[in-house]
Structure 1
Amino acid sequence: MTSIPAPLQQQPDPQLRDQQRLHDLARLRRVRDRIDREYAQPLDVEALARGAHMSAGHLSREFRLAYGEPPYSYLMTRRIERAMALLRLGDLSVTEVCFAVGCLSLGTFSSRFTELVGVPPSVYRRQAASATAGMPSCVAKQVTRPVRNREAPATEPQLA
């Protein structure tokens, strides 16, 4: 019986590794798309991971590498972006906006909103009414987008 030398057993085929990476990226895109679609639903990392056939820890690590923030932060950023749009319209109270975007706690919503936007939701609502008056909604969304919402810069793999 022939045995494969130990160093060759430990090195995965680069082509297989690349295929696995592409497969993982496709699953991460599906998770991100699900968050974008279902942000107002009760989502948690465990449920997202189950849907992607990954462990919660693996999903969090890979999502952070791909998009620059963990899935829960991405979800909250999406919720805050939608809340900003609803607050600009001025039809709903802050509490109604909080529940409309899927947050269950007004305190958590207000804290996260203030962290991402820089002002509390009630102040934003007052300021946004005058600042975006007459501005098309697509432009207002781009101008007022939270800074944290960007993908991670491409990094070169580090060799050990």
Structure 2
Amino acid sequence: MTPEELATLTLLRRARDMIDRDYALPLDVPTIAAKVFMSPAHFSRKFRAAYGETPYNYLMTRRIERAAALLRAGTSVTDACMMVGATSLGSFSSRFTEIMGENPSSYRAREHSAIEAMPPCFVRFATRPARTGPGAGPGPGPSKPSRNEEVQAHAAH
């Protein structure tokens, strides 16, 4: 790997860390790209090549992941939406449903006792959002159970 490629990866890691840390702030791709001294288009291409998804999708996945934790703790859907930096309840609900496989109200109302009994490192894995909607996979085929359905099935055994 060339020194230039290493420098680019360092900047991309810095951008990913910023998204992880500042997910609730009003972030967009041009703002993040400027922080790592790249044009938005170049940054998006490099980020996707390094991490397998666009910076915007990564940001939204992190927001949904944090919102799911808030919903499990009993926070209202509207409050969770605003606390993670989403500006539209409708868009948030659509994205939550796409990523988590169920709408936020259903997710909040569901029993989460199996997750409460797990060590935190397993909770992070078990509740990590996995895209289940359009663009989730390579093409049509049998539908894959959502991560939440997998955790519930595993907890039932």
2:89 counterpart residue number: 106
> For 1:3-152, what aligned pairs fall within 5 Å after superposition?
18-90=2-74, 92-148=75-131
Q: Between the two structures, name the one with larger relative contact order (CA 8 Å, sep ≥ 6).
A: 1
1:10-67: CA deviation from partner (whole Å, max 9, x where unpaired): xxxxxxx711111100000000000000000000000001111000000000000000
RMSD (Å) for aligned C-alpha atoms = 1.5
**After TM superposition, where is structure 1 displaced by more than 6 Å over at least 4 residues in a row?**
none
CA distance in 2, matches of 1:128, 1:61: 40
TM superposition score normalised by structure 1: 0.77
For structure 1, the residue ranges without an aligned partner over 5 or more in a row are 1-16, 149-160
Quick check: 134-143 or 119-128, which moved more?
A: 134-143
Contact 1:85 1:141 in 2 (8 A): no
| Shift of residue 125, structure 1, vs aligned partner | 0.8
For structure 2, the residue ranges without an aligned partner over 5 or more in a row are 132-157
Identity %: 57
| Shift of residue 131, structure 1, vs aligned partner | 4.3
| Shift of residue 95, structure 1, vs aligned partner | 0.3
TM superposition score normalised by structure 2: 0.78
